[in-house]
């Protein structure tokens, strides 16, 4: 029970119940992508407005489990107003937090403090089958910035 609370922390439950920037598509949105986790059916659309290399606005639509929804919601809060480059860096920090996966890893990691609220996702690491839930919105955001329409966690 207690270790379940490490995964389903109040912050995650809160962002699941009341996702921020959801459902939302900024009127001047110019980057969008559809993300899908075929394993569990989580499905999100991430909509961004990017101007001069900066994420001016962001919102998401769709539905998923608590982990994927909370992660998407926290992501929108974290990267709004950020230069695109920094958002990508943050994504790699999140991935590192969740997996220790050294693929595409430049070996440089800022300490956890850059993650701020996002460090609440660290409990997911104990549940390898759920890591894809936590990264779905991030992959989708990345795909939108790269100009790809679809992203899957497979």
31 sits in which H/E element: strand 31-37
Residue 43 or 88: which CB sits closer to another protein?
A: 43
CB atoms within 10 A of CB 61: 17
Residue 31 or 133: which CB sits closer to another protein?
A: 133
* Token pair for 49: 């407005």
* Token pair for 46: 């991430």
CB of 41 to another protein, least distance (A): 4
CB of 8 to another protein, least distance (A): 5
Q: For residue 70, give the nearest of 112, 128, 113, 130 by alpha carbon.
A: 130
Residue 131 or 144: which CB sits closer to another protein?
A: 131
CB of 33 to another protein, least distance (A): 19
Cβ atoms of residues 23 and 139 within 8 Å: no
CB of 105 to another protein, least distance (A): 27
Residues that bind another protein (CB under 8 A): 1, 3-5, 7-8, 10, 13, 17, 39-43, 63-67, 69, 127, 130, 133
Residue 124 or 145: which CB sits closer to another protein?
A: 124
Cβ atoms of residues 90 and 76 within 8 Å: no
């Amino acid at each position: 029970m207690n270790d379940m609370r490490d995964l389903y922390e109040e912050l995650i439950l809160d962002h699941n119940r009341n996702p921020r920037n959801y459902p939302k598509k900024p009127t001047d949105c110019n980057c969008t992508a559809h993300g899908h986790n075929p394993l569990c059916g989580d499905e999100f659309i991430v909509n961004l407005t990017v101007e001069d290399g900066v994420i001016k606005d962001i919102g998401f639509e769709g539905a998923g489990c608590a982990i994927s929804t909370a992660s998407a919601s926290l992501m929108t809060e974290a990267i709004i107003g950020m230069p695109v480059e920094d958002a990508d860096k943050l994504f790699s920090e999140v991935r590192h937090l969740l997996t220790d996966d050294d693929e595409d890893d430049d070996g440089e990691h800022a300490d956890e403090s850059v993650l701020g609220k996002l460090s609440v996702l660290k409990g997911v690491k104990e549940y390898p089958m759920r890591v894809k839930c936590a990264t779905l919105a991030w992959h989708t955001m990345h795909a939108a910035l790269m100009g790809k329409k679809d992203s899957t966690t497979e």
